[in-house]
């Protein structure tokens, strides 16, 4: 007889995994890790500095200890090394903005069943401040890219390339790192006007304003300018349906000169669409958040590139922390 005695426990642990998620989200939102910083503080002091209830704060801090994010010494709490590195706002490797972006998605994910029934995204019932949501997303993407770019950018050969298009480049992190690594390169960030202030401030902070400009536009409607000899599309396609992806890739190809290089960075599914796990789950994230977005397979992206006149398409060896990958091709 088959023994499934451990299966209920595994399923219940999976079902309740959001408890840990919500614990982390609450601690980041209340900035508890930043309050503790390099100190050892009692729960009452953390609560006082965070304008929170002492008893409830102690319960939250104890749970964070159980999760391995804090250490308790007598009646005081300290950050672990990882918490100090990634969860304190004064750390250059802070990931709290992306955690808050995830927090803003929780309500929609809790109604995933509705999205599956209707095939439409979920409109949140709770009114999150739009400026806070935008800041969390932009800063989250900036910090993630800042962590990835130093490893990824050197793997891409842009020798002889002088004009880069960073399509949907947001805060400009990738354009900045491509220009830092390739002294001959100038870049154009193409994104919505709402992104311009953050991008220009970031570029100026790296003293690259003379080499990186910002063009405001909607990549569905507006021309990209050019010609460019390299185009970088990082995490653009998953927000769009297949037809819009084909149009975006075609427009990008039209903005490239002959021999220009197209580089696509995406969460890439296996052809079965059942792996890797993160891109498979990310498709559901796009289901609840967008009208037609999804993760795509390598074959699907390759076909879109080929249809746009891109050839010699290669997948690089790069694998990102969330199973992102790189496809590179050349315009005929």
Residue-wise pLDDT for 159-172, tens only, equals: 999 999 999 999 99
Instruction: Answer yes or no: do 195 and 57 share one domain.
Output: no
Does residue 101 belong to any structural domain of this protein?
no
Instruction: Answer yes or no: do 279 and 167 share one domain.
Output: yes
Q: Which residue has the tokens 């202030």?
A: 197
The token pair at 259 is 């021999």
Does residue 25 belong to any structural domain of this protein?
yes
Cα–Cα distance for residue pair 65/163, rounded to 1 Å: 50
Identify the residue with better confidence: 252 or 132. Answer: 252
At residue 127, the pLDDT reads 55
Q: Which residue has the tokens 């037609």?
A: 292
At residue 125, the pLDDT reads 65
Question: What integer best gives the mean pLDDT of the chain?
Answer: 94
Question: Cα dist. 203→123, 170, 171, 213 in Å?
Answer: 34, 11, 8, 9
Residue ranges making up the domain that contains 76: 7-89
Instruction: Answer yes or no: do 183 and 326 share one domain.
Output: yes
Contact by Cβ (8 Å): 256, 249: no
Instruction: Answer yes or no: do 160 and 76 share one domain.
Output: no
Residue of 103, 177, 238, 265 marked active site: 238
Does residue 240 belong to any structural domain of this protein?
yes
At residue 1, the pLDDT reads 42
Mean pLDDT of 181-195: 96
pTM of this structure: 0.91
Q: Is the peptide bond before 276 cis (omega within 30 degrees of 0)?
A: yes
Does residue 100 belong to any structural domain of this protein?
no
Instruction: Answer yes or no: do 233 and 316 share one domain.
Output: yes
Instruction: Answer yes or no: do 36 and 148 share one domain.
Output: no
Number of domains within the chain:
2
At residue 7, the pLDDT reads 80
Share of the chain above pLDDT 70, in %: 97
Does residue 300 belong to any structural domain of this protein?
yes
The CATH number for 81's domain is: 1.10.10.10
Identify the residue with better confidence: 5 or 160. Answer: 160
Mean pLDDT of 189-194: 96
At residue 128, the pLDDT reads 58
Mean pLDDT of 85-101: 95
Nearest to 64, CA basis, from 45, 87, 44: 87
Catalytic: 181?
no
Q: Is the pLDDT of residue 291 over 60?
A: yes
At residue 6, the pLDDT reads 62
Helix (H, G, I), strand (E, B) or coil at 131: helix
Q: Is the pLDDT of residue 99 over 90?
A: yes
Cα–Cα distance for residue pair 48/57, rounded to 1 Å: 10
At residue 126, the pLDDT reads 59
The CATH number for 309's domain is: 3.40.50.150
Instruction: Answer yes or no: do 203 and 316 share one domain.
Output: yes
Question: Cα dist. 328→8, 211, 215 in Å?
Answer: 45, 24, 24
Q: Is the pLDDT of residue 49 over 80?
A: yes
Instruction: Answer yes or no: do 85 and 228 share one domain.
Output: no
Instruction: Answer yes or no: do 187 and 251 share one domain.
Output: yes
According to DSSP, the residues that pair with 315 across neighbouring strands are 327
Out of 72, 89, 106, pick the residue that ends a domain.
89
Does residue 111 belong to any structural domain of this protein?
no
Contact by Cβ (8 Å): 220, 244: yes
Query: What does the DSSP 8-state code read for residue 229?
Result: E
Out of 21, 55, 89, pick the residue that ends a domain.
89
Mean pLDDT of 274-288: 97
Instruction: Answer yes or no: do 184 and 295 share one domain.
Output: yes
Question: Cα dist. 182→86, 156, 256, 266 in Å?
Answer: 29, 10, 19, 22
| Tens-digit pLDDT profile for residues 125-155 | 655 577 788 788 888 888 888 889 999 999 9
Does residue 106 belong to any structural domain of this protein?
no
Among the residue ranges 33-47, 135-149, 186-200, 256-270, the one predicted with the least confidence is: 135-149
């Amino acid at each position: 007889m088959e023994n499934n005695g451990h299966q209920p426990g595994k399923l219940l642990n999976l079902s309740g995994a959001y408890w840990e998620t919500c614990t982390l989200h609450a601690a980041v939102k209340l900035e508890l890790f930043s309050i503790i910083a390099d100190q050892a503080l009692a729960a009452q002091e953390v609560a006082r500095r965070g304008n929170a209830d002492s008893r409830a704060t102690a319960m939250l801090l104890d749970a964070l200890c159980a999760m391995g994010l804090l250490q308790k010494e007598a009646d005081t709490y300290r950050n672990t090394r990882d918490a100090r590195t990634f969860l304190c706002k004064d750390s250059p490797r802070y990931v709290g903005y992306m955690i808050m972006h995830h927090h803003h998605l929780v309500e929609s994910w809790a109604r995933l069943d509705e999205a599956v029934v209707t095939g439409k995204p979920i409109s949140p019932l709770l009114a999150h401040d739009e400026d806070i949501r935008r800041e969390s997303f932009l800063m989250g993407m900036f910090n993630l890219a800042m962590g990835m770019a130093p490893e990824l950018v050197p793997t891409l050969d842009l020798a002889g390339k002088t004009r880069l298009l960073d399509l949907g480049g947001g805060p400009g992190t990738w354009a900045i790192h491509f220009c830092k690594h390739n002294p001959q390169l100038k870049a154009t960030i193409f994104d919505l006007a709402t992104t311009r202030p953050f991008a220009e401030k970031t570029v100026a902070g790296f003293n690259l304003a003379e080499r990186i400009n910002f063009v405001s536009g909607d990549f569905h409607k507006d021309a990209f300018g050019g010609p460019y000899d390299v185009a970088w599309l990082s995490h653009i396609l998953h927000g769009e349906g297949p037809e819009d992806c084909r149009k975006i890739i075609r427009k990008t190809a039209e903005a490239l000169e002959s021999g220009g290089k197209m580089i696509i960075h995406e969460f890439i599914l296996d052809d079965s669409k059942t792996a890797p796990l993160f891109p498979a789950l990310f498709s559901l994230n796009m289901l609840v958040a967008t009208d037609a977005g999804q993760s795509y397979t390598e074959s699907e992206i390759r076909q879109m590139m080929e249809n746009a006149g891109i050839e010699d398409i290669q997948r690089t060896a790069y694998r990102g922390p969330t199973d992102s990958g790189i496809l590179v091709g050349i315009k005929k």
